[in-house]
Structure formats: C-alpha cells, structure tokens
Amino acid sequence: MAFKERVFSGVQPTGNLHLGNYLGAIVKFVALQESYDCIYCVVDLHAITVWQDPAELPRNIREVTAAFIASGIDPRKHIIFNQSQVAEHAELAWIFNCVARIGWLNRMTQFKEKAGKDRENASVGLFAYPCLMAADILAYRATHVPVGDDQKQHLELARDIAQKFNNDFGASIGARGHGEAFFPLTEPLIQGPATRVMSLRDGTKKMSKSDASDQSRINLTDDDDAIAQKIRRAKTDPHPLPHDEAGLAERPEADNLVGIYAALAGKPKAEVLRELGGAQFVSFKAALIELLIARLGPIRGELKRLLQDPAAIDAVLADGSARAQEIAAETMRAVKDIVGFVRR
C-alpha cells in the first residue's frame, strides 16, 4: 500500500542546542520543506527521561522552537509543536510498549550510554524511549525521518515495531479496510558530511548537549568570539590537511572539522580536500571560523529576537499542537479499532 509521504522529526529541549543538532538535523528539516509536508516536534516527553528542572524546561522548549523558526522552518506551511500537548504520543507509545520486546530494547546503545554504570537507577522512561520515538513518528504515519547518525538504531526499532504491529494485527487491519499494512516502514534520512558531528575536545565522542565541557561544542547561542575561540582551541593533530578522504582515516579530529566545513560550504568532503589539501590547521581553522560565523550569526540574532516574545512562541506551539493532534487523533482512533478497544 502507498502511504502519503510525510516527514517527522524531533529535538529534545535539554538545553545547549549545538552545531551537531543544527547540521545533523535542523538543516535537513529546513531543506525537506520544499518537497514534503513536515512535522517538527520539540520532544519534551523524551527530555524528562533524564531529570529536567521545571524552572528551566519551559525556556528550553521555547528555545528549540525559536531555533527551528530562526533556522528557516515555516510554522504556517508546516507544523511545529511540543510533544506533551498531543496526548496521542503517550497513548500510542503504551501500545508500542506492548508490541516491542524487552530483548529489542536491551540492544539499544543510547540507553547503555545514557544509563552508564548505574543502570538499575535509570528511569523506566529512558529504557522505553525508543517506543515513544516510534509512536512520535507513527502517530503521523510518517514515511521519512531526518536524524543524525546516532538515531539510526532507534529508527530501525521503529520499523521493527511497525512491522510487528502490521503482522500481529494483520487480520484486523485488513478487516477494517486498511489493506495489508497500517503503519509504513519509515525511511531514515541520514546523509551528508555532518551526520555525526564530534566533540571539539575528543574526536571519538559525539558533540552533545550534555557534555560537561562547554568547549566541546559550538552552541547556537555562542557569540562570534566564543565560536572563534572554541575552533582555535579545538583538538587537532600536527599534520597538514590531506588531499583526499582516505587521508582522514585515523584522524578523527581532522575528519570532524573537514566534515563541518563541508556541510557549511554545501560541498562533499572530497571537494573541500581538493581545494584545501596541504593547508595547515591555523589557516584552515580561520576559514572555518569565517564560515561558522557567517552562517550562525544571523540565526543567533533571530533566535534571541524571537525569545524576547515567549507568548508568540507559545502561540506557534498551540497552533501547531492543534493541527498535529487532528492527524494523530485520527491514527489513534484507527489503532484502537484495530487493537479491539471499545471506544465512544
């Protein structure tokens, strides 16, 4: 069966939005608006899988919303909303908790990394996170999901959940006129030179909101001086840039900075190296700083302007939530019938 093409993705309001979120996700969100109906979600239910201070969470929700708009997402043509305003996410997640198997979730590397050594003390929500993520996507029966490389495993799980639901309830799905499959097997969109932006301090760790060192990431709110300083101090090796991509093997820090440059310049890494191969890091970093400031400066300005009017941001979220809920509620009614619940 052909599903209506639709894009869904989300960003957690966990503070410190960074260059990895921007290049790995938000830039893709912006580009996809041209060819798809898009739904972009501030996933606050995901955020509370680890402790969030209630005094800071509203600001973080508004900051992600403002970052979406400042980066160029149009909340009138598409949908921007926060997850907790559409109860169907949590409702469908429960059904998926009953479809997914504990063995599947036990394999998730994000849980292992975030729970760390004290796994017994992690929240149940952190463990069940991928079921909620599947519900986010499938409440809209979305066909395409742009994400960074770190979310690949969760998207595969979302496909497994959709497949198992379609199989387990196959007869009921058919009997209700939905054909062979009710949920699509979502396509991950993970492409380009910056699907995994690494920490500026350690080229083997992903750039992350939660890294204790602010020097490890470029925040979307960093001013020009902070951007320049962080790139100048970014870890590198003593060799000049190689002339081709093979020369980046075993050089994670160089690979990372070239990837960032390529993403900002809109060129493949190979082309960047053809142009800049042989350059020393001092001059390459200067060029990178220039590109970063040119791109992030205007976004930061717009982000700050938008944040001065929280009521306007809340209005965007309210409007987006109402439009999202119409779609999700229709899915949920069909799911209840398929599962066999009695409803009004």
Question: Least Å distance between CB 21 and ligand ATP?
Answer: 4
Q: In terms of CB distance, is 207 or 313 closer to ligand ATP? A: 207
Question: Least Å distance between CB 94 and ligand ATP?
Answer: 22
Nearest to 219 by CA among 15, 12, 13, 9: 15
Tokens of 58: 């509203």
**Using rule CB under 6 A, residue 142 touches ligand ATP:** no
Question: Least Å distance between CB 137 and ligand ATP?
Answer: 12
**Using rule CB under 6 A, residue 259 touches ligand ATP:** no
CA–CA gap between residue 314 and residue 212 (Å, rounded):
30
**Using rule CB under 6 A, residue 201 touches ligand ATP:** no
- Cα atoms in the Cβ-side hemisphere of radius 13 Å centred on 321: 18
Part in contact with ligand ATP (CB under 6 A); list of ranges 84-92, 148-156, 173-181, 291-299: 148-156
CA–CA gap between residue 264 and residue 259 (Å, rounded):
9
Q: In terms of CB distance, is 18 or 165 closer to ligand ATP? A: 18
Residues tagged active-site = 114, 206, 209
**Using rule CB under 6 A, residue 71 touches ligand ATP:** no
Q: In terms of CB distance, is 14 or 166 closer to ligand ATP? A: 14
CA–CA gap between residue 141 and residue 14 (Å, rounded):
26
CA–CA gap between residue 186 and residue 53 (Å, rounded):
33
**Using rule CB under 6 A, residue 216 touches ligand ATP:** no
Q: Are 42 and 83 in contact (CB under 8 A)?
A: yes
Site string for ligand ATP, 20-39 (x = CB under 6 A): xx--xx--------------
Q: Give ∠ CA 145-186-162 in degrees, rounded to 5.
A: 135
**Using rule CB under 6 A, residue 256 touches ligand ATP:** no
Q: Which helix (H) or strand (E) holds 42?
A: strand 37-42
The SS3 call for residue 98 is coil
Q: Which of 37, 91, 150, 330 binds ligand ATP (CB under 6 A)?
A: 150
Strands 187-189 and 144-146: parallel
User: Which residues in this chain contact ligand ATP in the complex, by CB under 6 A?
Assistant: 11-12, 14, 20-21, 24-25, 147-148, 150-151, 195-197, 206-210
